[in-house]
Structure 1
Amino acid sequence: MAEGMTEVSGLADDRALLGRTSTAERVSDILRSRIAEGYFPPGTRLSEDAIGGALGVSRNTLREAFRLLTHERLLVHRLNRGVFVRVLTIEDVEDIYRTRRLVECAVVRGLGDPPYALDGVAGAVADGVAAAADQHWKGVSTANIHFHRELVALAGSARTDELMRSVFAELRLAFHVVDDPRRLHEPYLERNQRILATLREGDAARAERLLAAYLEDSLAGLVEVYGRRVGEGA
């Protein structure tokens, strides 16, 4: 018993880290959302003083949040210059889509027997249609990301959801560089509806084929416009 107590007593020194880590995770959630919304565009330097003051958190807590987001590949630390929102390379974009194909297509392929729980997917489709009707193309982009997150959620795997949350957040770094979001996102509204209808029919195999073609076309279109913008120094 004495030996066990000795081992556990060392954990008391880590107690202070619990509150700081929890706060850092909450701060990273806030910053992740802001980055996803384009509030901090790719290439932006993040000021510790300004952000720490606005959120009312310590420098150490903010640095821990930065570390978490750097691990997620949303931020990059440049020696003697500070922390910046990442600017993706074409290779980054291609790798993101490689991961998307591996995960999203596998989820749809492994759905099993219908019916499927499609309320979340249908809600994302409806949000995209409503945003397009309002000419809110960033809203269409957000709804499109939600559509794919809801597809992944059909797997019922918290680990897969967590993985793809990070992948989709990174993908939006590329979307924020594109100067014509309507051209990029509008064509996929109808394709989202088609995938949803196919899943409602219980044909997961056909839905997977539609999704695979969708991702291939989406990658080609994004690489074309993104490569041009990055080449211009965006």
Structure 2
Amino acid sequence: MTAPPPQLPGFGSALQIRGVVDAVAAQLREAIFAGTLPPGAAVTEALVASEFGIARPSAKAAIEKVTAEGLLQRTANRSARVLTIDTEDVHDIYQARRRLESAALRDLASTLHAPERARIANEHIRALRAEHPSEIIDHDLEFHLAIIDALDSARMSASYRRILSEVRLCMAQVQGRQLLHPDLIGDEHSRILAALQLGDAESACEHLTTHLGRAESLLVESLTHEE
């Protein structure tokens, strides 16, 4: 008879707590993206504990997890609040995106590598209509994340995911307005992939700059109108 594996003290309960924290963090994230928790809304430990029926330490851990992702911000001795993105934030976010993605495109072009995952994400975009902004956003960000993930750098992918959380939040806060049409997004993505397949890094980066620049301008315009 095989002896049971040794048990680490408290290991099972620690995993259970982590599962609760991850689940609550996911719910908070979705509430922020959906606008249920609007920009500037306070997210307190007491509120989260009460809403989800969990202990205060678990609520605190979930809040800290979402704060680390950049969706909540906390100042000294104050409750966490949903991040409010302004036009300066948009410019900074898109500058970071251009630099990271351009570096990725240059590396991929050197091996003529156009990620299949990015191509599939773009096919999903082309199949959508402009009436589905949230789905367009999801597939658009998946396209760009696929470019970064193709580098097989865990740290670069992790850094870029945090930036995309802020991009997703920004788009969610203004998605009531029409941004880029899916056909236009699909065409611009296709040009980037075609340039990668040809090993033309400069063209790929130029198409990326045009694509992100147009999106940045529309986001800034939308935010300006809402101020």
Q: TM-score range by the shorter chain?
A: 0.7 to 0.9
1:70-104 per-position Cα deviation (integer Å, ceiling 9, x unaligned) = 23321123678743211112211111111111101
**Partner Cα distance (1:37, 1:120) in 2:** 26
Unmatched tracts of structure 2, length 5 or more: 1-7
Give the aligned partner of residue 24 of structure 1. 21
**2:140 maps to 1:144:** yes
3-state SS in 2 of match to 1:182: coil
Deviation per CA, 1:83-136, whole angstroms, max 9, x where unpaired?
321111221111111111110111101225334252110111012122227x31
Q: When the two structures are superposed, what TM-score results if normalisation uses the length of structure 2?
A: 0.80
Verify the 8 A CA contact 2:114 2:197 in the aligned structure 1.
no
CA distance in 2, matches of 1:17, 1:185: 48
Q: SS of the counterpart of 2:124?
A: helix
Give the distance between the partners of 2:186 and 2:101, measured in 1 at CA: 17
Partner Cα distance (2:75, 2:24) in 1: 21
TM value normalised by structure 1: 0.77
Distance 1:143 1:37, change over 3 A: farther
Other-structure match for 1:98: 95
Aligned partner letter, 1:154: A
Give the secondary-structure state (helix, strand or coil) at the position aligned to 2:74.
Answer: strand
Aligned pairs (5 A) from 1:165-184: 165-178=161-174, 180-184=176-180
AA matched with 2:215: S
| Secondary structure, aligned partner of 1:209 | helix
- Give, in whole Å, the separation in 1 of the partners of 2:26 and 2:166: 14
- 220, 223, 229: which is aligned to 2:220? 223
SS in 1 for 2:151: coil
For 1:83, the aligned partner's letter is: A
- Take 2:155 and 2:76, find their aligned partners in 1: how far apart are those partners? 33
Determine whether 1:162 maps to 2:158.
Answer: yes
Q: 1:87 to 1:194 in 2, by over 3 A?
A: same
Name the CA distance, whole Å, in 1 between partners of 2:199 and 2:214: 24
Q: Does 1:206 align with 2:224?
A: no
- Over aligned residues, Cα RMSD in angstroms? 3.0
* Conserved 8 A contact 1:76-1:86: yes
Question: Which residue of the partner structure matches residue 119 of structure 1?
Answer: 116
Deviations along 1:54-85, one digit per CA (max 9) or x if unpaired, are 54432111112212322332112367874321
Counterpart of 1:131 in structure 2 is: 128
Equivalent residues of 2:86, 2:223 under 8 A apart? no
Identity of aligned residues (%): 29
Q: Answer whether contact 2:45 2:63 (CA < 8 A) is retained.
A: no
The change in CA–CA distance for 1:76 and 1:226 in structure 2 (over 3 A counts) is: same
CA 113–183 in structure 1, closer or farther in 2 if over 3 Å, else same? closer
SS of residue paired to 1:110:
helix
Of the structure 1 ranges 88-97 and 174-183, higher mean CA displacement relative to structure 2 is found in 174-183
Task: Name the CA distance, whole Å, in 2 between partners of 1:96 and 1:14.
Answer: 41
1:66 counterpart residue number: 63
Kindly indicate whether the alpha-carbon contact (under 8 Å) linking 1:145 and 1:168 is maintained by their aligned counterparts in 2.
yes
